[in-house]
Structure 1
Amino acid sequence: MTATDRDPDPDTGASTGVDTDVDALDRIEFVARSPARVRMLAALRDAERLTRTDLRARLEASRTTVGRNLEALCERGLVATVGTDYTLTRAGELIATDLLDLAGTIEIARKLEPFLRWVPDGALDIDLREFADAEVIVAKPGDPWAMINQHVQCLKTMDRCQGFLPFTGLHAQEAAHEQVTDHGARSELVLTPEIADVHFSDPNYAPLTEEIVETGRFEYFVYDGDLPYALAVIDDVVQIVVADGDQPRAMVESESATVREWAEEKYESYKRRSEPISM
């Protein structure tokens, strides 16, 4: 029996070509080990029906490559024919969707790896797929402070900022000071006791701290515990900085509404367990 001779799909009239004795994992492995097959299923998922000529154009592949892989996919019950067109079977659609979603998840994890390696276990309680469009910034040769420079640039134009800090930097404090005192920005920070002592006692920080607190637009809170990373919600941008001790290693920056909602809730959870600091 050929792929075109099999029983039709009741919804489409297309031949299903489903071999019920084919193991599901075997099908997934069969598709995954061939980039051409993965791309072919993706193209059919997006377009529903395509001819061989259409697939050759979309894949920029030879007639032999397209023909060989189409025949194999039909034999595995993942692709069926409707006249001269090819379409996904129900099994093919399911596998294509799940496989492509998995590929996307793996790509997100790969992108985030330079950041995730420094995140304490269990500290980032959000679906990592929400960072699909995020930017990961790490130290580079010639620019070891790339993530800090990005943070400072964001502070220089902020209208509102809230966040928590297990480490600190003078350039960031200077940028926040200028925006609050000169441009009417508002900010709230939760600090560990050690970082609070730096902001209020260190001669480089204390004058800046005193001036911004006096504006009434900058509030400090102290959290008597460990903070797993630095988090800042600056207007519509979320920045998370991870460090090795007090040495920043990587930052992820996102404008996702879901990430921002999570970040605001995370900030509020630490703020509720903190005490306000007054001069």
Structure 2
Amino acid sequence: MREKTRRHRQLEILNRRYTLSIYEVEELQKLDAGYEGELIFDGLLGAFINGTNIIHIKDYNFYPANADHHLLTRPKDEAAHVQVDNVVIAKDSLYTFEIKNYNFDLHYEDAKWYFENGNDFTDPLMQLVKQRDMLVKLFRGMNHQIRMFNVLVFINKNQTIFNLPARNEIIVRSNLQKKLSKAMMYNHYDHSSLAANLESRRAGVLKYQGDTTVEFRELAKGVFCISCTERLVRVNHYKFKCAKCSEEIPVLDVVKQLIMELGILNRSWTVTPSLIQQYSDHEISEYCVRDNKNRGLLDF
């Protein structure tokens, strides 16, 4: 299963416990749409690669510092990370697939992209150019060569792109399966060492995925349903219930969720039974936390 970014998860938590700015609400909506599009692509791709030796690396991030520094044009510590939605090694070639789940139509004219109202839209192909350039440098630093194709996928089947250019690096939903069926074929050679080298250079901590600036005291306290953001109601000593979803959730699962949320929001916060009790608005007692921790059921 593809994981959400830390920033995405932070905004989901803050949406339940804090008043987000209009900008951050839009950011969350974009992240939700992007994640949904990536899951759709994963499902379509999985039908072709399951049971094969095709390699699929999801959400690959690396810093140009991991490339040969002689090939860079600015200091390593000033370089932003490079993000690739999907790296796929199939047919003894490397494919990158960037997924765009836009819910609006676009126009293409004279090598430029436009919104329906005529305003300029940032050329999405520029992202592919950057990716290709930095991946080539990364592979040179690894002393590895492989044929590479960089592809932009418009995954929303309800989107229309008027005057879409006939370019191999652009795929729309209507012809995605046809394109995948031609490219997603067995590798004749073993590319596990390449995959391992890529993973060893994956960026573990991204510069923009740091702790939230929201203070603990500013957060709404309580226990909430992660599916619908509704506040949970205590049913008995052992479980909570979401009145909206009708889902019953064991107390231990609620405590684990609270601990995870605190770590996602700010890793500098010292998680203690007292802090968890405060965060839950006293729905979870210190004794409950200590007891489950002593029994080895909680880890913090």
**TM-score normalized by the length of structure 1:** 0.29
Whichever of the two has the greater Rg, that structure is 1
Q: Which has more helix, going by share of residues?
A: 1
